[in-house]
Structure 1
Amino acid sequence: MLDIAAEKTPDNRPAIVICAWDADEAAWDPVEDLSGQPWSPAGARTVAVPADDPEALATTLSNHLSDDRTRALLLVGRTCRSDGFRMQMRAENRSLDGGRRMNIVGPGIARATAPTAEIVRALNEAGFVADASSDAEEDAGSYLLYRILANLQEGADTPAIGLLRAPEHEADASVQRAVKTAAQAMARHLSPLPRARAY
């Protein structure tokens, strides 16, 4: 009898980690139907990471990015500073409470590595009002963005890391669609993994 599990072909699609950092945020659910399979864009696969304490979450997300099969990270949260969707392009070296520098020797600012212009263009083409901003909001999202960017391993291929903010009162269905649009734009920039990296 054939061993079906053994015959499964390796999944050589690069991974995009998607994380809504706020435990109260219910908008992003990667499982669309009763199959239990998470949604994935063409050419990539998604890995959903649930919300957690920011310190623990920063470690979890950095651990995912230390695996060279993970080529992108999309943080998802809300903004109270815009009526449209916003890609945050940078984060400041600030502690979680904002009262001091997080890293005494780290740079003052870390810049997102995601293809921001392409993501904003894709969101606008999909009918969303969207822009990019260097305005770093004082919340766990900015803290995570800086921590993760500052902790990237040197010498490795730089993964695409971005932070998408949805308007504060945007409906969950709209946020779901915007996250998928952003992930699809990111996936278009990812090349398949070499065979040696595939599962």
Structure 2
Amino acid sequence: MDTGVRPDRRPAIAICAWDPTFTAWDPVEDLSGEPWNPVGARTLPIPGMASAETLAAALSALLAKGECGALLLVGQTAHPDAFRLQMRAENRRLDHSDRLDHTGPGVARATAPAAEIVRALADAGLNALAASDAEQDAGSYILYRILNDLPDGPASPSIGLIRAPLNAPNAKVQLAVKTAASAIARHLAPLSRPHVA
């Protein structure tokens, strides 16, 4: 029976502020209760969790199931003034006592289009830079876990981490996240049409 409802073929991008106390990013713009979506994609808002290990495992599982083609992690930076797009994460345990994965690479590189995101942020009037240094916090730990769990191959999802300066007003954080997500979404392909037997 045809219900008349067409499947949503837009690719999905998960957006997650890993720290549940960081409330500057709110995916719901208005009283509709519907999350904001970038042009050509749909947003999967993922709530932060107190346990970085649990959140990293949940996000890795979401990506492994193919439920989204991209992930943007959102958090804060210890550095002042500029939004920072973190380009890599180090192989360290959450408490920094040792390597997280003794057989994994020492550094994992984010797969999101860094140069394009930084350009888009600048075009939006935001002070932004791409940073090679990994900040020693749960965001870097989660980023490494997710990148290290990705399968090899050309179809790897786009993974990025954007950090807001501590003094950034909520409106600028919202603009930065939307701008970064929109830049990522431009590289996502529509979902394939279902096969009809």
TM-score (norm 1): 0.93
| 1:159-174 to 2 correspondences below 5 Å | 159-174=157-172
- 1:94 maps to which residue? 92
SS of corresponding position for 1:70: coil
- 1:127 maps to which residue? 125
Deviation at 1:113, TM superposition (A): 0.1
Deviation at 1:105, TM superposition (A): 0.6
Could you give the per-residue CA deviations for residues 28-58 of structure 1, whole angstroms, max 9, x where no partner exists? 1111111111100010000011111101100
SS of corresponding position for 2:70: strand
Identity of aligned residues (%): 60
- 1:49 maps to which residue? 46
SS of corresponding position for 2:130: strand
How far, CA to CA, are the matches of 2:68 and 2:131 in structure 1? 25
How far, CA to CA, are the matches of 1:125 and 1:181 in structure 2? 9
SS of corresponding position for 1:41: coil
Tell whether 2:23 aligns with 1:19: no
What is the aligned length?
Answer: 194
Deviation at 1:99, TM superposition (A): 1.4
Deviation at 1:82, TM superposition (A): 3.6
Would the aligned equivalents of 1:69 and 1:193 in 2 still touch at CA under 8 Å?
Answer: no
Deviation at 1:69, TM superposition (A): 4.0
Deviation at 1:153, TM superposition (A): 2.5
| 1:66 counterpart letter in structure 2 | A
SS of corresponding position for 1:97: coil
RMSD of aligned residue pairs (Cα, Å): 1.5
**Large movers: runs of 4+ above 6 Å:** none
| 1:1-199 to 2 correspondences below 5 Å | 6-52=3-49, 53-155=51-153, 157-196=155-194
SS of corresponding position for 1:148: helix
